[in-house]
Structure formats: structure tokens, C-alpha cells
Amino acid sequence: MGRINGIDNIRNKKTDVVNKDIAPANAVEKNKNYVVEITDMNHEGQGVGHIGSLAVFVDGGVIGENIELKVIKVAKNYAVGKLLKILRVSPGRTEPFCSIFKSCGGCSLQHINYNDQLQYKTNLVKETLKRIGKIDEAIVHDTIGMDHPFNYRNKAQFPVGLCDGKPAIGFYAKRSHEIVGSCDCGIQDPVSDKIREIFRRFIIDNEISIYDETTHLGLVRHLMVRKGFRTGEVMVVVVINGKDLPYRRKLVDDLISRVPNIKSIVLNINTQNTNVILGERNMKIYGDDTIVDYIGDFKFHISPLSFFQVNPIQTEVLYNKAMEYAQLTGRETVFDLFCGTGTIALFMAQKAGKVYGVEIVEDAILDARKNAKLNRVGNAKFIAGDVEKVIPELYGQGVRADVVVVDPPRKGCETSLLDTIADMGPERIVYVSCNPATLARDLMYLEGKGYSTAEVQPVDMFPWTVHVETVVLMSRVKE
């Protein structure tokens, strides 16, 4: 597939257009139809073509196609088009497996065959590292995909609302909070669709009010389903804008009689006027507080609020690659920064001398300590606190890491933290990222502090979407 670039890198790029007599960029008109060739894809998975010298982005465009589009937005350096007709079909195009693909805001790459998606993600990482990080000599491996990239998600979160005046539990439409009608979702576990329909009928039959985010009135906000892929255990979480759910005994009886392996049913209380899905308080109404699942040989208790990777198959692939890059011999001290519930730290503890996990969310650290005890890991210590403050304190106390693992949120790392890591001088840094742009920025900064980017491995954690997880090995440059 072609290069993947952001607006800044493609605004001056020219390409042949079927319409040879197109006017200059400032003459491109909104609501007018044009014929363009799709030559690229951007970081949002949109096809990229040109009308004269102006880049145009279009949902659903595939590299190698000639399409007719209608311009729906004209900005200074780019335009946005709506696909009207495919005049020449790319061999990379495939039929979407989902009936609501065009309206749902979820899997935006279903129209592209899976192998080409993997190539797109490899190119996305390469181009982002080069454009933002000025890194073009590191080895960037092909993206590791899935043998069966369907039904891989172990957690489904469904907003509850009204569609044509009737209760609907589904997904948000693209770039909106309008709920798309239900369908069989090809990336969720099938049990979530079954539970969703049972709960929808429960709302209708018992006339349960539905939350309205504009008025902050109504009761039911979201439905969440979690499943342990190795254990088969199922958790159902109903998020409510109130203190209790009417007729909850009916719901419990209906669920446990019709869905095997339900181990936990929970009401999550969220009365805040916010877009955050889960509130801080849970009320168990059936079964256990948690379900159990595994990553590799490690066992984890999962609560409604626990962070747990949604694709356990690819998580094991990712963590094994991080272990490989860490090159542990059994003597090293490892820092796992932004450790969450301790999943990476426990993997590292298998071959490290000592592991320190640091995370600002106290509940996550409590879970991490429980997970360490559950798996009889005695060489991992978990600390609750701001990573930017805890690491300098540890370093000041004489605790130095031989290997540092960082798995930050999408915004990446603060420069103060990167400075402290570089000052400690670990032999290797293993950087796990869900955002190629902030990854590239941080790698460039660390390269200016005496480190070299050696290997980059993208992993497809979220097939059919534009998202890609990346694990990177950085080595200290020897003086």
C-alpha cells in the first residue's frame, strides 16, 4: 500500500487526477462533484486523493481506486469529500462483514482486506516515526496480525438510548452520539449481543426510563459485558443514573437462566453529568465481585473498574515481544512505568531480579498487588503515585533500573520523566505505545539523550480499526 501521512506532509503533494482541467486549490467548490484517484491513506483511515494541488480526504476510499466524490468541506489546506461512486475498484477492497458498517463509528477499515490493513499499520508507524521523530534507520517489522481477527474483544460497552422513539442499545454513529440500531457485532464476543437483547427487552417490558445526556434525567445509561476468554466467565454491568434498578430480580433471573457462565451482575452508580462511562461505586446484585481470566500463565481477577487489555490473544503477543526486547537474565532491576494492574510487570518478574511498578491510579495498584499475590510473584513491588514524582524519588534513594518499560496513555511521557530515565542510564528502554505520534516524539527526545531506536514491532490489537499498538526497543549508546 502507499504512504500514510498527516495533513502537514501531504498538503503540497501532487498526483494525476482523472479531471485534467481541474482549477487551482482555491477554486475547489463545496457541494461540487469531482473525480479523483485515491493514492494514499491518512492516520484516520481515510482515502487521500488530490483535486489539483489540494488534498482531499474521503471515508471509504481505497488506494488504487478512481472515485467520484462530492466535496462537503473546503479548508485552507485540504478538503473533505463524500464517496458517491467507485469508477475503478481496488483489488484491496473487500465486502464489509457488518450490516451497519457505513453508519457505525466503530470498525472503519472493514472495506479493506485484512492483509492490506496490516500493511497500512506498518506504513503508518514507519511514516510517523520518520515525519515526527526523524527516525528512519530503525528496523520496523511487519505488523503482527491475528489468524482469526473476529470476536476478539473481551469487553463490550453499549450506550443506551432511543432510536425512532424506541429503546436502543448499540453503538454511536460516526462523529455523533446518535445510537445505531443493534446488529451482530463481528468483533465482540457473541455473548454480548445476546445479553444486549435480553436487557433491551427488560427495559421495554418493565418501562425502565433511559438516561438523556442533554437533560441529565432518566435511569439507564450504559450496558457493559466482560468475558474471560480462557475461563468463559461472564460479568454484566448496568450503569445507572440513580441508586437502584427497579425489578432487578427479574433481570437477574432472566440473565442467569438464559446465559451460561454468568458469574457476576453489578450495578454501577454514575450520577455525574459526564461522558465518562463508569462511576466509582459498584453494587453487586448477583454472584461474585470479579471474574477471572488469564494472560499467558498469569491469572487475573477482573472487576468492573479494572483495566484489562480487550484483546487477550494479541496482548500475550505484545507482552512476549516486550519480554524479548527487555533481554532479561534474572539479575536486572526493571521499572514498569504506568503499570496499570501490573500485567507487564508480572511478565517481566518471571526473568528479572526485581520489578518496580508505578501507577497513579490507586485502585489499579491495589489490583496489581492482589494479582502479584494471586500468582505468587514475590519480586514485584507496586507503588501508587505520579510517575513523574515517584521515579526521581526512587532514583534519589539509590534505586536504579537496568531496564525501563513505559506504557503511557495516548499523550505520551512528560519530558521531565524522560530526563530522569535518561539520567539513570538504563541499558535498555522498552516503550509500549498506542499512539504513533506521541511515540515518535518521545523516541526523538530520548535519542537526543543518548539512546538509539533499535527495533520497532507494531501489533494489531484492534483489527478492522485504524488503531495500532507498538513496542519499541531503545538501547543506550556506548560512549
When pLDDT is averaged across residues 131-146 and rounded to a whole number, the result is: 95
Does residue 172 sit in the same domain as residue 44?
no
Q: Is residue 318 part of a domain?
A: yes
Q: Which residues fall within 8 angstroms of residue 376, CB to CB, at 6 or more apart?
A: none
Instruction: Convert the pLDDT of each residue in 189-227 to its tens digit.
Output: 999 999 999 999 999 999 999 999 889 999 999 999 999
Does residue 204 sit in the same domain as residue 330?
no
Under the banding of pLDDT at 50, 70 and 90, the label for residue 182 is low
Contact 271, 279 (CB under 8 A): yes
Tally of domains within the chain: 3
Does residue 187 sit in the same domain as residue 289?
yes
**Catalytic annotation, pick one of 98, 163, 183, 434:** 434
Is 434 part of the annotated catalytic residue set?
yes
- Helix ranges (H only) for 243-305 are 248-258
Residue 229 and residue 478: Cα distance in Å, rounded? 44
Q: Is residue 252 part of a domain?
A: yes
Range of the structural domain that residue 18 is part of: 7-88
68 HSE (CA, 13 A, CB side): 6
We report the CATH number of the domain holding residue 224 as 2.40.50.1070
Does residue 210 sit in the same domain as residue 123?
no
Does residue 318 sit in the same domain as residue 220?
no
Does residue 239 sit in the same domain as residue 192?
yes
CA–chain centroid gap for 148, Å, is 18
We report the CATH number of the domain holding residue 31 as 2.40.50.140
Instruction: Convert the pLDDT of each residue in 289-339 to its tens digit.
Output: 999 999 999 999 999 988 888 999 999 999 999 999 999 999 999 999 999
Q: Is residue 442 part of a domain?
A: yes
Does residue 124 sit in the same domain as residue 263?
no
Does residue 179 sit in the same domain as residue 281?
yes
Residue 347 and residue 330: Cα distance in Å, rounded? 12
CA–chain centroid gap for 138, Å, is 24
Q: Is residue 395 part of a domain?
A: yes
Does residue 427 sit in the same domain as residue 333?
yes
Burial profile 307-322: b = 16 or more Cβ within 10 angstroms, e = fewer: ebbbbbbbbbbbbebb
Residue 210 and residue 219: Cα distance in Å, rounded? 5
pTM beyond 0.75: yes
Instruction: Convert the pLDDT of each residue in 64-120 to its tens digit.
Output: 999 999 999 999 899 999 999 999 999 999 999 888 787 776 788 999 999 999 999
Residue 50 and residue 58: Cα distance in Å, rounded? 11
Q: Is residue 28 part of a domain?
A: yes
